[in-house]
């Protein structure tokens, strides 16, 4: 079932890239794990429905993932994994779970595009963006390293190498754990359910 769902989402994302971006195989980004010096903390960014802060989601378990919609492999794999995890949760659990996809490419990733992109995966995934100066500060607080490199031979003209961990924030706003972007669904689902159980005690 997991592999069918993952294939389903990747097919949609592949079509999305093909028709929306005319994406070429030259566009490639490197990924690495986040640093251990995550300070975390509240932030406010723009969502398709208006400003959204981490503080607004107190009481919910929040998954953070930094990337960009033109990312050819790491981001769609990560969001497909998250989507598969969310699909295994009950309606009550989903009410207390949110995923924030924070774009590191505000030049291309406007709010309309982010909403369209995240909707391919799951309604509980919300796309966020802002000015690059604001995004840099948020990324630094969550140990995210990223670099934009020019690639004249690609259709996009550039790629973004970025840290790729999925960051788990508990209902109190504290970073609890990180998972590699290519994690299996089982350990991620287990961690979310554990945090949700603690919340209801």
What is the per-residue DSSP string for 93-123?
A: HHHTEEEEEEES-TTT--HHHHHHHHHTT-T
Computed on alpha carbons and rounded to an integer, the radius of gyration of the chain in Å comes to 16
Query: What confidence score (pLDDT) does residue 36 get?
Result: 52
pTM of the model: 0.81
How many domains would you assign to the chain? 1
Q: Which of 129, 74, 76 is nearest to 104 (CA)?
A: 129
Query: What confidence score (pLDDT) does residue 200 get?
Result: 58
Helix axes 2-16, 74-87, angle to 10 degrees: 140
Q: Report the alpha-carbon distance of residue 4 to residue 115 in Å, rounded.
A: 24
- Name the residue range of residue 94's domain: 2-200
Q: Report the alpha-carbon distance of residue 157 to residue 165 in Å, rounded.
A: 25
Q: Report the alpha-carbon distance of residue 33 to residue 180 in Å, rounded.
A: 7
Domain CATH for 172: 3.40.30.10
Going residue by residue through the chain, which has 201 residues, state the pLDDT in tens, using 9 for 90 and above: 544 454 444 444 443 443 333 333 333 344 444 445 688 999 999 999 999 999 999 999 999 999 999 888 889 999 999 999 999 999 999 999 999 999 999 989 999 999 999 999 999 999 999 999 999 999 999 999 888 887 767 677 777 888 889 999 999 999 999 999 889 999 999 999 999 987 654
């Amino acid at each position: 079932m997991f592999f069918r769902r993952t294939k389903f989402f990747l097919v949609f994302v592949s079509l999305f890239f093909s028709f929306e971006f005319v994406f070429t195989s030259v566009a490639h980004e490197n990924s690495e794990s986040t640093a251990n010096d995550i300070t975390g903390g509240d932030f406010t960014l723009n969502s398709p429905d208006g400003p959204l802060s981490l503080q607004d989601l107190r009481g919910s378990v929040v998954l953070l993932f930094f990337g960009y919609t033109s990312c050819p492999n790491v981001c769609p794999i990560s969001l497909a994994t998250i989507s598969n995890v969310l699909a295994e949760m009950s309606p009550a659990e989903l009410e207390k779970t949110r995923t924030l996809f924070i774009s590191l490419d505000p030049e291309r990733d406007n709010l309309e595009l982010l909403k369209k992109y995240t909707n391919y995966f799951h309604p509980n995934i919300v796309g966020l963006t802002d000015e690059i100066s604001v995004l840099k500060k948020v990324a630094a607080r969550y140990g995210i390293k990223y670099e934009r490199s020019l690639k004249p031979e690609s259709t996009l003209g550039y790629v973004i190498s970025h840290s790729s961990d999925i960051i788990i924030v508990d209902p109190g706003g504290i970073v609890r754990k990180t998972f590699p972007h290519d994690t299996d669904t089982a350990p991620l689902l287990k961690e979310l359910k554990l945090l949700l159980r603690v919340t209801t005690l």
